[in-house]
Structure 1
């Protein structure tokens, strides 16, 4: 009887059901943390940083947040060998429309970022997210992180003033995979500023600025290497696939593959590779301090609206590009090209 009692006590201690933010700190001692129907107070982070190795975090029911103008993040998860799981019917409802003013992070109301990941040997799966205020997943200094089946729906931002609602921002990270996810937003679906061994596969991006490498340059880490963007769709977006490097900066973009990418109703440019970013916008001639080498683009197909350009290349010091099966059409805007490596054509 005593042994059975001890087993019950141990089992209870290894799992925690959290219904309000006051219970969270004590719950971090548990191996299984279930977050259920929590309203996070205004200006407070749902803080799941420094979790014990092997912890499983479940999101269940609806998570909401009080309103305050602050930098966030609304959620942070950190640790090693952590599993973040969305239970059936889960919803992280940020109600970002309370902050939206068409300015995003460029002014107006101060908007909290959504989710900071500080994870190693970990996974995030099955989260349903609605209406982030600005900036989605910040994947910074992570290693061996698998992200899958994320439903990030900010469709209402198109009519209610959403801006800078990035899907996934990756920096200074390695061995990151993002697969089988849906992103409907008003900025980059994926933006990789630095990192190595990154896979983006089987994803659908709607309404934003497309899939981006960069901008690269001007940070502590200015290397993007071994990235594979495959079997994905970009729909009703400003750009399809894009690489942008900072004018006058140093670094490297190398061994990048875009393969089996479907574009639909792209407004500005289907494929854009440019080396003249400055002050968040392209200016003047490209510079070669961040060379783009080993770029493979294969089987990228679809349509650009007639006011846009199918392909735009404006680079310096680029080499070893292999492009095949490029079938991007419909754009009637003619743009001067510069720096296209010899033998590369579409």
Structure 2
């Protein structure tokens, strides 16, 4: 395992952290500040995770214009007590592959105690049309929103080639065992959902 803590990164031109094939990694107490790019910058994700196990990201501050967290695939991840401002929220996706393999699976994700401020989305799951995969055993607990457009977003209609939603939920990524509880704060819309009921199972509690 490895540990990163206690430093600042400013004005990332692209994704700040792309974490691949890591085990038992902890990232804490960082300041990721790309706020100078407001209005023009794109793809300034805070943390992108692919094919990892046992990553913990806690107590960081992220100012950007894209996903605070983007889970491409990984297992047993904790994202806790982070401050996310200005971007697209905390995301799973875009997710999907030719088959249900470890490379297109997000399982055992805990998202808890985070603050999402001045963002397009709060919590988002985005899967790719025509492709397969699995999202399972995901828990969102006690996260806070402020000035967010869409609190809970699930889209199974994302096109990578077009770079946007199609309106037709043809992704075959199964979404199951996802629980949202203790979500509070302010958002313009509670839900933005385009999903196929055959593939999506979500529980939203008080």
Taking structure 2 as the reference length, the TM-score comes to 0.92
Residues 128 and 171 in structure 2, CA contact (< 8 A), matched pair in contact too: no
Q: Distance in 1 between matches of 2:75 and 2:26?
A: 14
Higher relative contact order (CA 8 A, sep 6+): 2
Q: CA deviation at 1:139?
A: 0.4
Q: Which of residues 158, 170, 178 is equivalent to 1:287?
A: 170
Residues 294 and 319 in structure 1, CA contact (< 8 A), matched pair in contact too: no
Q: Which of residues 296, 321, 324 is equivalent to 2:205?
A: 324
Tell me what 1:50 maps to.
none
Offset from partner CA, 1:93-118 (integer Å, 9 cap, x none): xxxxxxxxxxxxxxxxxxxxxxxxxx
Q: Which of residues 105, 123, 127 is equivalent to 1:245?
A: 127
Q: CA deviation at 1:292?
A: 0.2
Tell me what 2:61 maps to.
182
SS state at 1:291 partner: strand
Which runs of 5 or more residues in structure 2 are unaligned?
Answer: none
Does 2:38 match 1:155? no
Q: Which has the larger radius of gyration?
A: 1
Q: Comparing both structures, which one devotes a greater share of its residues to strand?
A: 2
Tell me what 1:228 maps to.
110
Offset from partner CA, 1:8-53 (integer Å, 9 cap, x none): xxxxxxxxxxxxxxxxxxxxxxxxxxxxxxxxxxxxxxxxxxxxxx
Tell me what 1:271 maps to.
152
Taking structure 1 as the reference length, the TM-score comes to 0.56
Q: Comparing both structures, which one devotes a greater share of its residues to helix?
A: 1
Tell me what 1:298 maps to.
181
Q: CA deviation at 1:289?
A: 1.5
Runs of 4+ aligned residues of structure 1 deviating over 3 Å after TM superposition are none
* Number of residue-to-residue matches in the alignment: 200
Within a 5 Å distance, the mapping from 1:90-129 to structure 2 comes to: 121-129=1-9
